[in-house]
Amino acid sequence: MTSPTRIGIHDLAVATAGHVLDLDDLAAATGVDPGKFHIGLGQDQMSVPGPDEDIVTMGATAAQQIIARHGVDRIRTVFFATESGVDQSKSAGVWLHELLGLPSTSRVVELKQACYSATAALQAAAGLVARETDTQVLVVASDIARYDLDSAAEPTQGAGAVALLVSADPALAELEPVAGLHTAHVDDFWRPNDSVTAVVDGKLSIDAYLDGFVAAWDDYRTRGGVDIDEIDLFTHHQPFTRMAAKAHRRLAEHTGAELPAERYERSTVYNRRIGNSYTASLYLGLAALLDGDDDLTGRRIGLFSYGSGSVSEFFTVVVQPGYRDHTRASETAAALAARTPMDVAAYRALHAGAHLGSRVDVEIPAQSPWPFHFAGVSGRARQYSA
């Protein structure tokens, strides 16, 4: 009997916005104790997009790194996961497809379910690759988190993207087949069509997140998932990194296992500096684990994915031999260092001008340090340049 084909993450790349706001500056401007941000939320900075940046430009910047290494010939599908889409009909992935010169012989789809949809894309990608093992799927998770100024959620804002190349015989991490699932209708967080910022019930959202985690874990175990002692490290969805601490503690309480903080803390490194990136945040956590100093060869990582509203999933991956030759720690460090620091006044001016209607043509000059730019609106259609 032939062994089943290993399928998983063959490559992973990160991108973020071109500006950064230090939360010490926001604390000083708003008269808040900085510890509320650094300790209470577990956040140090937030990435802030400029006028020429959006989910398409960040997603394309992340995906370009993968294409430069692997080419495009085997990519038959692009899944673009986001909850901050730029059009009610057209997939953001279609613009990305053009910017990157991907083959016309490919399917392109946008997926939406709050912060969860990148995991849905990953699982769907694995199914497609299992059916056609010589093909690859490009999964892009890209989001901008914006909340009302002076709201409790304001310091958790952020912007970022992660691109994943899913293939057979993956170089980074094999996706294991068992997953635990949970869906429940909860009005904890949503963004109405007539609003550019989200509506949040903070306490309910935390409770729904933790309830979803426990339920997804129980389903995972019921379906044959490994015992908690066989999972070496964890990364959890991080709307703010202290949420990962809450999740980790709840799982320990629920299972009765000892789960020291060292088993998840490394996963918060990038999210602390980028802020909330919605669909991308879980996979920024995975990138941070893989980019760390410890050799993770053969280690099993548990991932908890949550999307408000709500959908939860718990699943595992196993880190592959030789994975260190394929990580991108230096590239991610360079991207974080390349952001332009800004003061609170400049950040708030960008926040105020973030919503751009389609009824008036406008040209936006290229400003960000990245290769792709939102160039404005012409004839009610979004324009991009490279």
From 301, 322, 343, the end of a domain falls on: 322
What's residue 318's pLDDT? 98
Same domain, 123 and 268: no
12 & 157 share domain: yes
Q: Which domain holds residue 267?
A: 174-322
Residue type, 188: D
The pLDDT assigned to 194 comes to 85
In a domain, 2, yes or no: no
Assigned domain for 272 exists: yes
Q: Write the CB contacts of 349 (distance below 8 Å, at least 6 apart in sequence).
A: none
Tell whether 208 and 299 lie within a shared domain: yes
Residue 178 lies in a domain: yes
13, part of any domain: yes
Q: Is residue 107 part of a domain?
A: yes
pLDDT of residue 2: 44
Give the ranges where the chain is alpha helix by DSSP (H).
Answer: 23-30, 34-35, 55-70, 92-100, 117-131, 202-222, 241-255, 269-274, 281-290, 329-338, 344-352
What pTM, to 2 d.p., does this model score? Answer: 0.95
One domain for residues 154 and 211: no
The reply to whether 148 and 248 lie within a common domain is no
Is 17:159 a contact under the CB 8 Å cutoff?
yes
pLDDT in tens, 178-236: 999 999 999 988 888 888 778 888 889 999 999 999 999 999 999 999 999 999 999 99
Give Rg (Cα) of the chain.
Answer: 20
Q: Torsion over CA of 359, 361, 365 and 368, rounded to 10 degrees?
A: 20
Q: How far is CA 85 from CA 196, 245, 322, in A?
A: 11, 29, 36
- Domain boundary (303, 322, 341) is at 322
Q: 307 and 237 share a domain?
A: yes
Q: Are 367 and 50 in contact (CB under 8 A)?
A: yes
Please indicate, yes or no, whether residues 302 and 374 belong to a single structural domain of this protein. Answer: no
Cβ(306)–Cβ(237) under 8 Å?
yes
CATH code, domain carrying 84: 3.40.47.10
Nearest by Cα to 111 from 99, 126, 98, 122: 122
Beta strands 233-236 and 300-307 are parallel
* Catalytic residue positions, numbered: 83, 115, 237
End of a domain among 297, 322, 347? Answer: 322
Q: Report if residue 1 sits inside a domain.
A: no
Strand partners, 140: 80, 163
Kind and range of the H or E run holding 156: none
Q: How many folded domains does the chain comprise?
A: 2
**Among 12, 277, 47, 13, which Cα is nearest to 143's?**
277
> Is residue 212 assigned to a domain?
yes
Question: CB–CB of 195/182 below 8 Å?
Answer: no
pLDDT in tens, the chain (386 residues): 344 689 999 999 999 999 999 999 999 999 999 999 999 999 999 999 999 999 999 999 999 999 999 999 999 999 999 999 999 999 999 999 999 999 999 999 999 999 999 999 999 999 999 999 999 999 999 999 999 899 999 999 999 999 999 999 999 999 999 999 999 999 988 888 888 778 888 889 999 999 999 999 999 999 999 999 999 999 999 999 999 999 999 999 999 999 999 999 999 999 999 999 999 999 999 999 999 999 999 999 999 999 999 999 999 999 999 999 999 999 999 999 999 999 999 999 999 887 888 889 999 999 999 999 999 999 999 999 99
Pair 125, 33 in one domain:
yes
**Whether residues 272 and 345 fall in one domain:** no
For residue 83, being part of any structural domain is answered with yes
For residue 258, give the DSSP letter: -
Q: Do both 214 and 285 map to the same domain?
A: yes
Sign of CA dihedral 24, 26, 28, 32: negative
Asked if 166 and 178 sit in the same domain, the reply is no
Q: Are both 345 and 280 inside the same structural domain?
A: no
Q: Is 172 helix (H, G, I), strand (E, B) or coil?
A: coil
